[in-house]
Structure 1
Amino acid sequence: MKMNLTKMFFLGFMMIGVMLCLCSNNWLFIWCGVELSLISFLPMIHSKMIVSSESAMKYFLVQSVSSSVLVLGIMGMVLMMIKYDLIILFSILMKMGVAPFHLWLLSVVEGLEMLTMTLMFTLSKVAPLMMLTLVSFSISLVILLTLTIGATLGLNQNSNRKIITYSSIFNMGLILISIKNNFVWIYYLIIYSILISSLIFIMFKMNMFYVNQMILTELVPSNKMTLWVTLLSMGGMPPFLGFSIKLIVIEFAINNHMTFNLVMIILFSLLVMFFYLRMTYLSLMFFCSSSKWTLMKMSSMSFIFMIMNVLTLPVILTSKIFN
C-alpha cells in the first residue's frame, strides 16, 4: 500500500480521533472521537483488491450500528435509565470485535492491505479499550467466550489472515482480563502491536496468505528464520518477547486470585501455540534446499526482528533483578 498524501491525511485524522477519545472526560466527546476515527479509516480500506469495497461496507455498517447503540447508552445515562452501562458495554464489545461479536471481523480482514490490517488490530483497539475501563459491568462470560473461540476456531483455518484474526481475538481476551489495571493492558497492547505489525509485514513481504503457500515458497533461510522467530513469539514461546506479555497477565491473575481465568489462560495458550507451531514447521522444515551457512547472511531488517524477539525478555528480567 503506497503512502501518498491522502493516506497520510486520513491516518493523521484517525490518530487525532483516538487521541480525542483518550483525552476526553465526557462520553459525548468520546463518541465524537470514535466517529472521527471511523470516518478516517474507511477511505484507507479502499484498494485494488476486489473485496476491499465489500470489506469497507461491512466495516461501516457494523461500526455505525455500534455507534448508534453507544449514543442510545449515553442517552440512557442522561435520562437515568436502568442498565445503561450494559448498552454501552454491548456497543464497545461490538466495536472491538471480541466474541460473540467477532464474525464481522473475519470477513472484513480478507479485503485489507498491510497498513489497514495493522491499524485494524492495533490503533483501532485503543479507543474501545479505554472506554471499557470506564464501565463497571462484569465481563467474565465475554472473557471466557473470547479465549475459547480465539483459541479453538483458529486450529482448522487455512488462511493466514484468519489465523492472525483468531489470534487477535484470543489476545483481546487476555487484555480484557487485565482491563482494570491500566499499566498491564497498555503494556500488553504496545508489545502485541509491535509483534503483530512485524508478522503482518513479513506476511505481505513474502506474499504468503495461505498455509500451503508457506510450504511451496522457497525462501532464503535467513528470511525463514525471521518468520520462525516471529511466529514463535506470537505464539508465546519462551524466551521470546511474546512470552513476556503473557507472563505479566498470568502474574496479574495470580495476584488478584483469578484461579479460573488463570487455568483458562494456560490451557488455551497451548492451543494458540499449537497452530503457530504448525505454521512454523511448515515454513521452516519443508523445501529448504539452500545451503545452511546462508543463515548467517541476514539483512538488517531480519537482524532487527531476531534481536527484538530473542533478547528483549532477558533484558527485562535482568533489569527487574537489579531493581
Structure 2
Amino acid sequence: MKKSAWLFIITMMMSTMITLSSNNWISMWMGLEINMMSFIPIILNKSNKSSAEAAMIYFLIQSLSSMILMIMVLISMMKYSMSNNMIKLMITSSILMKLGAAPFHIWVPEMMSKISWYKGMLLMTWQKLAPLMMISNIYTSSTIINLSTIWSVIIGSIGGINQSSLRKLMGYSSINHLGWMIAINKSLNLWLMYFIIYSVMNMMICQMFSNMKIYFTNQMSSMNMNNNEKINLSIMMLSMGGLPPFIGFMPKWLVIQNMINSKEIIICVIMVMCSLITLMFYMRVMMYMFMTYNTLIKWNVINYNKLYLMIMTAMNLSLPMIMFMKLI
C-alpha cells in the first residue's frame, strides 16, 4: 500500500467519528461526504480499469444518496407542505442506499468484484458504521425498515447461491447480514455487538482469502492448504453462516430473541430460513476444498501463521465458553 493511502485511511476513520458524534443533519452529511472523498482514493490506490469502475460506481451512488438526504433535510427545515412521514421515508431510503441494503443493493456485489479483498473488507465493515448509526437515531416508520430487512435477507441469501466469484458471494453475504442489523436498529447495544462480531469474522476471512489469492470457488480445489488451514477456514465460514456452537450464532440468537419479544414472528421466521440458504452456499465453498482432489502446485505453497489459525479457532469456539460462564 502506498504511504499516501494511510492519510486517506485516517481521514476516513475521522470522518466516521464526525458523523457518529454529530447532533445535527449538516455535520452528519459533512462527515459522510468526507468519508466518501477519503474512500475513493483508497479504491484507486492501484489504478486499473476495474478499480476506476468501482470508484465511479461508489461516487455516483453516494453522491445521489447524499443529494436526496440534503434536499429532504432542507425541505424539513423550511417546513414545506410535504408530510413528515414522507420526509422520513426519503431520508431513510437515502441512508439505505448508502448502506447498500435491498432494494438499493445492486451496486454492492458489482463493486465488490472490482476491488481487492482489503478494500472490500472496508466496504463491508467500516463504511457501514456511520449510516447504521444514523438509521438508529431516526425515529422512522417500522414499515420501510421491515420491508428492507425482508428484502435484504432474501436477496442476500438467494443472490449468493449461483455465484462463482467469492468477492460477489461475500457481497451478497454482507447484504444478508445487513438485514439482520437493520432489523434491530432501535437497540443500539444489540446491533453494535452484531456489527463488531461480524466485522471481526469478515476481516479474518478476507485476510485469509487475500493471503492465499483466492477469488473464485474453483480455486479452492487447487490450493495447497494443510488440514489445519482447511478446518479453520471451514469454521470461519460456518460461523459467518450463524451455525451453533460457533460465535457467529450468538448475535443471531440475540436478534431472534429480541424479535420474538417484539412479536415480529413472521419476519423472524423469514430471516432464519434465509440464514439456512446462506449456510448452504458457504458449505458449497467448503465442498470444493474438502471433496475434490487437491492439486499440489510448488509455487503456491503458503506458510500460514499458526498463531493466527489458533486465534481464529479459539474465537469461533468461544460461544460454548460464554454459555458456560453465564450458567455459573
TM-score grouping bracket, smaller chain normalisation: over 0.9
Aligned equivalent of 2:312, options 287, 305, 314: 305
Tell me by how many angstroms 1:167 deviates. Answer: 0.7
Report 1:49-198 matches (<5 A). Answer: 49-80=48-79, 81-82=82-83, 83-135=86-138, 136-138=140-142, 139-198=145-204
In 2: Cα distance, 1:132 partner to 1:289 partner: 48
* Aligned 8 A contact 2:221 2:295 in 1: no
Shift in CA distance, 237/91, structure 1 to aligned 2, threshold 3 Å? same
* Aligned 8 A contact 2:160 2:168 in 1: yes
Tell me by how many angstroms 1:11 deviates. Answer: 0.6
* Aligned 8 A contact 2:109 2:169 in 1: no
Matched to 2:32, the amino acid is V
Question: Mean alpha-carbon deviation: is it higher for 237-246 or for 220-229?
Answer: 220-229
Aligned equivalent of 1:35, options 33, 36, 40: 33
In 1: Cα distance, 2:169 partner to 2:254 partner: 24
Q: Percent identity?
A: 35
In 1: Cα distance, 2:308 partner to 2:160 partner: 29
Q: Is residue 2:23 matched to residue 1:20?
A: no
> What are the superposed Cα offsets for residues 266-292 of structure 1, whole Å, 9 maximum, x if unpaired?
1111101111111112112322589xx
TM-score relative to the length of structure 2: 0.92
Tell me by how many angstroms 1:306 deviates. Answer: 1.1
Matched to 2:309, the amino acid is S
TM-score relative to the length of structure 1: 0.93
> What are the superposed Cα offsets for residues 286-316 of structure 1, whole Å, 9 maximum, x if unpaired?
22589xxxxxx97111111111111x21222
* Aligned 8 A contact 2:160 2:169 in 1: yes
Report 1:171-320 matches (<5 A). Answer: 171-288=177-294, 299-310=306-317, 312-320=318-326
Tell me by how many angstroms 1:216 deviates. Answer: 2.3
> What are the superposed Cα offsets for residues 198-251 of structure 1, whole Å, 9 maximum, x if unpaired?
111111111111111112223222222221111111111111111111111111
Tell me by how many angstroms 1:50 deviates. Answer: 3.1
Tell me by how many angstroms 1:79 deviates. Answer: 1.6
Tell me by how many angstroms 1:137 deviates. Answer: 2.3
Tell me by how many angstroms 1:90 deviates. Answer: 1.4
Tell me by how many angstroms 1:149 deviates. Answer: 0.6
Q: Name the SS for the 2:243 alignment partner.
A: coil
* Aligned 8 A contact 2:12 2:35 in 1: yes
Report 1:1-20 matches (<5 A). Answer: 2=1, 4-20=2-18
In 1: Cα distance, 2:277 partner to 2:101 partner: 18
> What are the superposed Cα offsets for residues 115-157 of structure 1, whole Å, 9 maximum, x if unpaired?
2111101111011111111221222111111111111111111
Tell me by how many angstroms 1:255 deviates. Answer: 1.5
Tell me by how many angstroms 1:12 deviates. Answer: 0.6
Structure 2: tracts of 5 or more residues without a match: 297-303
In 1: Cα distance, 2:71 partner to 2:281 partner: 40
* Aligned 8 A contact 1:95 1:128 in 2: yes
Number of aligned residues: 313
